[in-house]
Amino acid sequence: MLQGVAGLVLQVLFWVVLAATAYAFVNATMQRPDAYTAADKLTKPVWLIILGMATLLSFVLGVTGMVIAAVAAGVYLVDVRPKLLEIQGKSR
């Protein structure tokens, strides 16, 4: 019984992390490239590679990849995205 619950929780977490990483990737593609340098962050192509590889790793490495993807998406969504929106004068 416990294995079933743990498996279900991990499956739900996997899909939540995948959705957050996909959202972060799509959002990163929609931002202006100059906003990344103006916000003193890594460049747009670097963030696209980080988020794309994080998504791929979540599929390949399972739980370990899911943790990597969660960290990458979290850093982008909590640190980079707000700075980009601020630089571009957009509301959150």
Q: Residue 52 is part of which domain span?
A: 2-88
Can you tell me whether residue 39 is helix, strand or coil?
coil
Euclidean distance between CA atoms 90 and 92, whole angstroms: 7
Euclidean distance between CA atoms 40 and 36, whole angstroms: 6
Reported confidence tier of residue 72, pLDDT bands at 50, 70, 90:
very high
Domain count, the chain: 1
Please answer whether residues 16 and 24 qualify as being in contact, where contact means their C-beta atoms are separated by less than 8 angstroms: no
With 0-12 / 13-18 / 19 or more C-beta atoms within 10 angstroms meaning exposed / middle / buried, residue 51 is: buried
pTM of the model: 0.89
Report pLDDT digits (tens) over 8-55: 998 899 999 999 999 999 999 999 999 999 999 999 999 999 999 999
